[in-house]
Chains A and B, each alone.
Chain A
Amino acid sequence: MAYQFDFGLVVSGQYGDWIVDGLVTTLKISGLAIAFSLALGTLVCIMRLSRLKPLEWISWTYIEFFRNTPLLVQIFFWYFGSYTILPEFATNWLNSVDQEFACGVIALTFYTGAFIAEDLRSGIFAIPKTQLEASRACGLTFIQAMGYVILPQAFRIIVPPLISQFLNLIKNSSLVMTIGVAELTYMARQIEAHTFHGLEAFTVTTLIYLTISLTVSFTIQQYNLRVLRTAR
Chain B
Amino acid sequence: MKRLAVALTAILALALFVSPAFAGKIDDIKKRGTLIAGVKDSQPPFGYVDEKTKQIVGFEIDIMKFLADKLGVKLDVKAVTSSTRIPMLTQGEVDIVAATMTHKKDREGQVDFSITYFMTGQRLLVKKGGPIKGVKDLASKKIGSVKGSTSEQNAKKAEPSATIVSFETYPEAFLALKQGKVEAVTTDEAILVGLKYSDDKPDAWDIVGDYISPEPYGFGLIENDSKFRDFVNISLMEMWESGEYKKVYDKWFGKDTKNYIPLTWTMELWP
A: which residues have CB within 8 A of B? 1-4, 6, 9, 80, 83, 91-92, 95, 98-100, 177-180, 182, 186, 189-190, 192-198
B264 near A: Cβ within 8 Å?
Answer: no
Contact in complex: B82, A4 (CB < 8 Å): no
Stretch at the interface among B36-44, B173-181, B207-215, B240-248: B173-181
Contact in complex: B106, A194 (CB < 8 Å): yes
Residues of A within 8 A of B222 (CB): 1
30 contacts across the A-B interface (CB closer than 8 A): A1-B222, A2-B90, A3-B87, A3-B90, A3-B110, A80-B172, A92-B180, A95-B180, A95-B181, A99-B181, A178-B167, A178-B172, A179-B165, A180-B144, A186-B147, A190-B147, A190-B148, A190-B152, A192-B83, A192-B148, A193-B82, A194-B106, A194-B153, A195-B106, A195-B107, A196-B86, A196-B109, A196-B111, A197-B110, A198-B87
Residue of A nearest to B101 (CB): A196
B122 near A: Cβ within 8 Å?
Answer: no
Given A189-B83, A192-B83; 5 other pairs, CB 8 A cutoff: A9-B109, A80-B179, A95-B179, A194-B104, A194-B107
Residues of A within 8 A of B223 (CB): 1
- Checking B104, B144, B176, B224 against A1 with a beta-carbon cut-off of 8 angstroms, the contacting residue is B224
Residues of A within 8 A of B256 (CB): none
- Checking B109, B148, B149, B168 against A4 with a beta-carbon cut-off of 8 angstroms, the contacting residue is B109
Contact in complex: B167, A180 (CB < 8 Å): yes
Residues of B within 8 A of A92 (CB): 180
B166 near A: Cβ within 8 Å?
Answer: yes
**Interface size classification for chain B:** 20 to 34
Residues of A within 8 A of B152 (CB): 190
Residues of A within 8 A of B163 (CB): 98
Residues of A within 8 A of B82 (CB): 193
- Checking B110, B147, B165, B179 against A196 with a beta-carbon cut-off of 8 angstroms, the contacting residue is B110
B150 near A: Cβ within 8 Å?
Answer: yes
Contact in complex: A196, B175 (CB < 8 Å): no
Q: Within the assembled complex, what's the spacing in Å between the Cα atoms of A182 and B166?
A: 8
Q: Within the assembled complex, what's the spacing in Å between the Cα atoms of A92 and B180?
A: 8
Q: Within the assembled complex, what's the spacing in Å between the Cα atoms of A189 and B168?
A: 11
CB distance from B146 to the nearest CB of A (A): 10
Residues of A within 8 A of B90 (CB): 1-3
Residues of B within 8 A of A194 (CB): 104, 106-107, 150, 153
Residues of A within 8 A of B150 (CB): 193-194
Interface centre among B106, B153, B168 (most CB of A within 10 A): B106
